[in-house]
């Protein structure tokens, strides 16, 4: 590994690809590689694949993640920052889902009440309003967000 990294320093490439650079290394060698990257290769663009969280936290300043829909997600910071960002997004989405569910349930209750009242009174306007509100329920969650997505 040392010879390889010395070659990198000598050749000065624009991009370095590392696939599991800490595999089969003992702790002192891993620490040496981390220190080498942090001190001597800090101006080099390095793309690395690793399962070593400590290594990623030490050397990464941006995370690129391939999502399930085969698009890339970009996150500034190390692995812990990325993980916190993902967790925050999951909490936000769960809260949003709960709000949408509550809104839908409230509207369904209102539609049921309006329908009962309309039938009892024979009020066509109330029945039409209930039908209109029922149609709105079907569209809950389909509104466009700030980016124009549904």
Q: Which of 106, 110, 132, 128 is nearest to 119 (CA)?
A: 128
For residues 71 and 117, what is the distance between their CA atoms, to the nearest angstrom? 50
Q: Which of 52, 28, 32 is nearest to 41 (CA)?
A: 32
- pLDDT, tens only, 78-100: 999 999 999 999 999 999 989 98
**How many domains does one find in the chain?**
2
User: Is residue 111 in some structural domain?
Assistant: yes
User: Is residue 86 in some structural domain?
Assistant: no
CATH label of the domain that carries residue 51: 3.40.50.300
Q: Are residues 53 and 6 in the same domain?
A: yes
Instruction: Tell me the pTM.
Output: 0.65
User: What single-letter DSSP state applies at residue 8?
Assistant: H
- pLDDT, tens only, 14-36: 899 999 999 999 999 999 999 99
For residues 124 and 109, what is the distance between their CA atoms, to the nearest angstrom? 19
From 60, 81, 106, the end of a domain falls on 60
- pLDDT, tens only, 63-78: 999 989 999 999 999 9
Domain of 52 in residue numbering reads as 2-60
Of residues 72 and 145, more confidently modeled: 72
User: Is residue 80 in some structural domain?
Assistant: no
User: Is residue 146 in some structural domain?
Assistant: no
């Amino acid at each position: 590994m040392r010879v390889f990294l010395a070659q990198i320093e000598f050749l000065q490439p624009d991009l370095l690809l590392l696939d599991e650079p800490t595999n089969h290394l003992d702790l002192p060698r891993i620490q040496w590689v981390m220190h080498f990257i942090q001190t001597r290769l800090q101006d080099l663009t390095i793309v690395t694949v690793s399962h070593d969280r400590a290594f990623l936290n030490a050397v990464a300043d941006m995370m690129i993640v391939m999502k399930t829909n085969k698009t890339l997600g970009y996150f500034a910071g190390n692995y812990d920052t990325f993980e916190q960002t993902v967790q925050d997004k999951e909490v936000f989405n769960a809260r949003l889902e709960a709000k949408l569910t509550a809104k839908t349930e409230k509207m369904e209750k209102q539609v049921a009440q309006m329908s009962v009242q309309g039938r009892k009174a024979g009020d066509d306007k109330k029945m039409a309003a209930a039908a209109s509100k029922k149609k709105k329920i079907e569209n809950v969650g389909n509104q466009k967000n700030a980016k124009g997505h549904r």
